[in-house]
Amino acid sequence: DAKTTQPTSMDCAEGRAANLPCNHSTISGNEYVYWYRQIHSQGPQYIIHGLKNNETNEMASLIITEDRKSSTLILPHATLRDTAVYYCIVRVADNQGGKLIFGQGTELSVKP
Amino acid sequence: DAGVTQSPTHLIKTRGQHVTLRCSPISGHKSVSWYQQVLGQGPQFIFQYYEKEERGRGNFPDRFSARQFPNYSSELNVNALLLGDSALYLCASSPGLGLGNTIYFGEGSWLTVV
């Protein structure tokens, strides 16, 4: 089972920041938080990942709380093309090479 | 640089037939994994290979098999196809097995079983 919980859906106005929350209260010290998004009928697109520190790249920022029990993905200036399902995944140290376990994700709708 | 490439992109098979799906990882990536995504659900892990060895297997029947070649490309084989095998099959690659190694996905192969 996925170790994360996310809201089922969210709306965001075009040009505004989209803040997508994720809870992962059972995360262990060596487990990473990954974010992917999937636009209908396409393969999941990697966005960003982090362990303890906040991270930023050209697509987004990832804010991880100090206790690591939750995180927020921030898309600073959402566009219509950011409409997608966003998956927050805790990558678990297992005997299967650290597979990704996808939950239901958050369906983000960016509206004009 | 080319991303993860998969072939074919779409195919239709009849129940009971066999299918082979192919994947070329990103150059320099030694790990390949396969996922199945049925309509309306998130992707589910099927297999992971690293350096030509199976490193992980999800909860799928033995009709599903895979292998990785010396050039790190991979094949997923499904025998005795069932209607329920209709799905998007995703291949993903990463440089190695560490949890900090990013996994990148291809665009997938759409399989329809009729």
Structure tokens at B62: 């033995």
Chain A residues in contact with B100 (beta carbon < 8 A): 32, 49, 51
What was the pLDDT predicted at A40? 85
What was the pLDDT predicted at A69? 94
Q: Considering only alpha carbons, which residue of chain A is nearest residue B104?
A: A46
> Does B1 score more than 70 pLDDT?
no
The CB density around residue A66, as the number of other CB atoms within 10 Å, is: 6
Chain B residues in contact with A102 (beta carbon < 8 A): 42-44
Spatial contact of B55 and B66, defined as CB atoms under 8 Å apart: no
> Does A1 score more than 90 pLDDT?
no
Quick: pLDDT tens for B49-92.
999 999 999 999 999 999 999 999 999 999 999 999 999 999 99
Task: List the single best residue of A27, A52, A55, A100 to mutate versus B (max B Cβ within 10 A).
Answer: A100
How far apart are the C-alpha atoms of A69 and A105, rounded to whole Å? 17
What was the pLDDT predicted at A7? 97
> Does B2 score more than 90 pLDDT?
no
Q: CB contacts < 8 Å between A and B, how many?
A: 66
Closest by Cβ to B105, choosing from A31, A43, A97: A43
Q: Rounded to the nearest 10 degrees, how much is the dihedral formed by the CA atoms of B61, B48, A89, B44?
A: -20
Quick: pLDDT tens for B97-111.
888 899 999 999 999
What was the pLDDT predicted at A80? 97
| Mean pLDDT within A79-96 | 90
What was the pLDDT predicted at A82? 97
Contacts of A7 (CB under 8 A, 6+ apart): A20, A21, A106
Closest by Cβ to B102, choosing from A49, A96, A102: A49
Q: Is A3 on the interface with B (CB under 8 A)?
A: no
What is the full DSSP assignment across chain B?
----EEE-SEEEE-TT--EEEEEEPPTT--EEEEEEE-TTS--EEEEEEETTEEEEE-S--TTEEEEE-TTS-EEEEE-S--GGG-EEEEEEEESSSSTTSPPEE---EEEEE-
| Mean pLDDT within A34-62 | 95
What was the pLDDT predicted at B88? 97
Chain A residues in contact with B9 (beta carbon < 8 A): none
Q: What strands, in cross-sheet order, belong to the sheet with A106-111?
A: A9-13, A106-111, A84-91, A32-38, A45-50
How far apart are the C-alpha atoms of B54 and B19, rounded to whole Å? 20
Chain B residues in contact with A5 (beta carbon < 8 A): none
